[in-house]
Amino acid sequence: MPTKTLSQLTQASAVAGTDFVLVSQGTLARKATATQLMATGAPLYAETAVLGNASGTGIKVDLDTPDWGWRDITSDINVRGVGASDPSFAVYGATAMRAYSFSAGTEQEVFMSFHMPHDYVPGTAIYFHAHWSNAAATPNTGNVVWGFDYSFAKGHNQQAFPAFTPITVTQASPATRYWHNIAETTAVTITGLEVDGLILVRVYRKAADAADTCSDAVFLHTADIHYQSTNIATKGKAPSFY
């Protein structure tokens, strides 16, 4: 299989319709060559690689069926500090650990804000998800409904935050105490979602929902967002990012 240097591959005609992989310092090889080299344990690396700065340019994962990889956006949990809608910051387990405990009978809420990172793949969907567990000695195996009310606005003085949009996800509580559950929503497509914008989110247990049948208080450990990543930064730190 032939190889081409990075300088040769800067010409669009050299790479049109061809799938190349970095295999050594300044050298690219066709996919089959890279696969053979990996089978022998040969190192695949390059000192410097220069990619285009167009929107959607980046590094995909998997040689056979390439696709954008996944990353998480995390955020601190904030509470109002007063009122029945605040979850209690209760002891979790038989140690000094504490976490936010959400009532089975009263809708309780926390607030989070997520900053869109510069490696977000424009136009792709995101997924909200809650990390939670049931600390009851004998957990009730009914359903827990988690809600996410969200509003997105672009950064750099481009947009006001619009009205909040709700989405929920329902997940049954396992019978095992302290089991780590991840309840993830269906795909969320936000018009105009772009890097450096903010997603404001109200996260709550929708205890009054008929679908929420778990009779136990449950603990929310955190909530975050799955998004697909180009695995590279944007050239610009402000619009136009690409």
- Answer yes or no: CATH 2.60.120.260 is held by domain 73-229: yes
| Per-residue three-class SS string for 9-67 | HHCHHHHCCCCEEEEECCEEEEHHHHHHHHHCCCCCCCCCCCCCCCCCCCCCECCCCCE
Decide if pLDDT at 63 tops 90: no
Q: What is the pLDDT of residue 33?
A: 56
Nearest residue to 102 via CA among 137, 141, 144: 144
More confident of the two residues 14 and 116 = 116
Q: What is the pLDDT of residue 180?
A: 98
Average pLDDT of span 49-58: 86
Give every CB contact of residue 57 below 8 A, 6+ residues apart in sequence.
51, 230, 232, 242
Q: Would you place residue 94 in the very low, low, confident or very high pLDDT band (cuts 50, 70, 90)?
A: confident
Q: What is the pLDDT of residue 16?
A: 45
Q: What is the pLDDT of residue 11?
A: 42
Q: Tell me if 227 sits within 8 A of 73, measured CB to CB.
A: yes
Q: What is the pLDDT of residue 96?
A: 85
Q: What is the pLDDT of residue 222?
A: 98
Q: What is the pLDDT of residue 12?
A: 38
Q: What is the pLDDT of residue 37?
A: 52
Decide if pLDDT at 24 tops 60: no
Q: Would you place residue 95 in the very low, low, confident or very high pLDDT band (cuts 50, 70, 90)?
A: confident
Total Cβ atoms within 10 A of residue 121: 19
Helix, strand, coil percentages in the chain from 3-state DSSP, rounded to 5: 5, 35, 55
Q: Give the span between the Cα atoms of 136 and 84, in whole angstroms.
A: 21
Does the bond joining 7 to the residue before it have cis omega, within 30 degrees of 0?
no
3-state SS class at 8: helix
Q: Give the span between the Cα atoms of 177 and 186, in whole angstroms.
A: 26
Decide if pLDDT at 42 tops 70: no
The residue type found at 206 is K
Average pLDDT of span 182-195: 98
Nearest residue to 225 via CA among 104, 102, 80, 114: 114
pLDDT by residue (tens digit) across 76-89?
999 999 899 999 99
Decide if pLDDT at 47 tops 90: no
